[in-house]
Amino acid sequence: MPAFPLYTRLIGTGTRRGVASMMLGMAVFVANDSLVKLASSAMPTGQLISLRNFMATLLLLALVFATGQASQLRRAVNPAVMTRSCLDLIATLLFIVALFHMPIGNVTAINMSSPLMMTAVAALFLHLPVGWRRWTAVAVGFGGIMLIVQPRAEGFNAYALVALCSTVFVVARDLSTRRIGHDIPSLIVATTNSVFVTGGALVLSAFEGWVAIGWREYTLLACAGVFLIIGYLLIVDAFRHGDIATVGPFRYTGLIWALLAGYLIWGDMPNLLAWAGIVIVVASGLYVLHREHVRGRDEAAKTVPVE
């Protein structure tokens, strides 16, 4: 996030920054989701997303002007930025449709397959080095996710394909982020994304209708909008630093944050299988970091001149 130099000084650059941004991004997205869940009983989904993203867009525009990047708004029509925003809009709408017709655990399980897909794309199409150890760590982490969400066989139906399509678009969106030039500020990317999602949600709300809501709901959505902005910026930043095969698996940490939020807000206590899954997810993430450190050390050793 070049507009916030303090973040760069604290976190650094390269893969470590990519991993840190992904983990922080997943945490604030869970905060956003929790606030949205608290407000969801009072209004239809289209209205909820429209209001949240409209507020987020206003705040993003205020940030753009406050940081002196107003002249960069013309970069919003950059093909790479527009492509990313279109992909995110499709992924969001498909996810919502699947969520309406499937248990949340099943949808989450499918959605959390994105790191596996991303690792496969990185290895097969981008020709990035992905060894068997990293493949194993990502697969084991996905196994941990299954233990956490414990999807029920009877909960899978034709909408599982819709959820899978949503996940494919999430992977495409994250991969497209790396095609956006570093000269285009993350704030501009996030603002464009928010505008697209707002537009898509308004179309959805036209079919659902709107209802009157109170100040509690407006406050919840305004706070959710703030977290959404931070999440947008962090996820864009995550895929601009480090290789995608290393950064992608740390999306798994989002489910751990979600379990914590479920316990603190709604009193949901994970069972023994879920705790085992949490341990596996954390261990696989630490192993990916360890392998990245070893690979970096080996590459550095190769560049040392031999006397």
Dihedral, CA of residue 228, residue 229, residue 230 and residue 231, to nearest 10: 50
What pLDDT is stored for residue 195 in this prediction? Answer: 95
Q: Which position has the token pair 């525009």? A: 61
Q: Report pLDDT digits (tens) over 238-248.
A: 888 877 777 88
Per-residue CA distances from 109 to 98, 142, 213, 267, 271 (Å): 12, 9, 32, 22, 17
Q: What is the mean pLDDT of the chain?
A: 84
Query: 222 near 55, Cβ under 8 Å?
Result: yes
Q: Report pLDDT digits (tens) over 259-268.
A: 888 888 888 7
Q: How confident is the model at residue 60 (pLDDT cuts 50, 70, 90)?
A: very high
Query: 21 near 237, Cβ under 8 Å?
Result: yes
Query: 234 near 193, Cβ under 8 Å?
Result: no
- Please determine, for residue 204, whether its predicted confidence score (pLDDT) is greater than 80: yes
Q: With residue 15 as reference, give the H or E element that holds it.
A: helix 14-39
Q: How confident is the model at residue 304 (pLDDT cuts 50, 70, 90)?
A: low
Residue 128 buriedness (CB in 10 A; 0-12 / 13-18 / 19+): middle
- Please tell me the pTM assigned to this model: 0.80
Per-residue CA distances from 91 to 19, 87, 111, 163, 221 (Å): 22, 6, 10, 9, 21
> How many other CB atoms are there within 10 angstroms of residue 270's CB atom?
18
What pLDDT is stored for residue 69 in this prediction? Answer: 93
Nearest CA among 17, 238, 293, 257 for reference residue 118 = 238
Q: Report pLDDT digits (tens) over 208-226.
A: 999 999 999 999 999 999 9
What count of Cα atoms within 13 Å lies in the side-chain half-sphere of residue 237? 30
Per-residue CA distances from 170 to 41, 95, 155, 205 (Å): 27, 10, 22, 23
- Please determine, for residue 10, whether its predicted confidence score (pLDDT) is greater than 80: no
What pLDDT is stored for residue 303 in this prediction? Answer: 60
Q: How confident is the model at residue 148 (pLDDT cuts 50, 70, 90)?
A: confident
Q: Measured between alpha carbons, how far is 123 from 119 in angstroms, rounded to an integer? A: 6
What pLDDT is stored for residue 287 in this prediction? Answer: 83
Query: 173 near 144, Cβ under 8 Å?
Result: no
Q: Measured between alpha carbons, how far is 161 from 67 in angstroms, rounded to an integer? A: 42
What pLDDT is stored for residue 179 in this prediction? Answer: 87
